[in-house]
Amino acid sequence: MRNLFIAMLTVSIAGCATLTSDAMTPITLSFGDGSSGDCVLTNKRGVWSTTAPATVSVRRSDDALKYQCKTADGCVSQFSCATAVNEKNTILHAQTAYTHQKSGDWKAARIEWARAIVNANLGEMDDKVRAIFYYEYGRSLGVTCIFDVAEFFLNKALELDKKTGEPLYLSLTELSRLYLDQNKFEQATKYLEKSFFELDKKSREKETPIEYANMLDEYALALSKIGKKAKSEGAKIRAIKLRKENPKGYLITERTPYGTQCEYPLLTQNGHLN
Q: Please report, rounded to a whole number, the percentage of residues in the chain having pLDDT higher than 70.
A: 69
Q: Are 82 and 94 within one domain?
A: no
Q: pLDDT tens digit string along 237-266?
A: 999 999 999 988 888 889 999 999 998 765
Cα(195)–Cα(168) distance, rounded to whole angstroms? 7
**Does 122 reside within a domain?**
yes
Which of residues 99 and 48 earns the better pLDDT score? 99
Instruction: Check which CATH number belongs to the domain holding 13 and give it.
Output: 2.60.40
**Inside any domain, residue 28:** yes
CA distances for 225 relative to 183, 222, 228, 229, 268, angstroms? 9, 5, 7, 8, 17
The whole-angstrom separation of Cα 95 and Cα 175 is: 24
What is the structure's pLDDT at 49?
77
Residues 22 and 106 in one domain: no
User: Residue 85 to residues 35, 53, 81, 158: CA-CA distances in angstroms?
Assistant: 21, 19, 9, 27
Out of 74-88, 168-182, 216-230, pick the least confident: 74-88
User: What is the CATH classification number for the domain harbouring 197?
Assistant: 1.25.40.10
Same domain, 219 and 130: yes
Mean pLDDT, all residues of the chain: 81
Q: Residues 33, 169: one domain?
A: no
- Asked if the structure places residue 128 within a domain, the reply is yes
Provide the pLDDT confidence category of residue 268 given band limits of 50, 70 and 90. very low
**What residues make up the domain containing 159?**
90-245
The domain total for the chain is 2
Domain boundary among 61, 86, 111: 86
Whether 226 and 116 share a structural domain: yes
Is residue 265 assigned to a domain?
Answer: no
Residue 190 and residue 123 share a domain: yes
Higher pLDDT, 12 or 130: 130
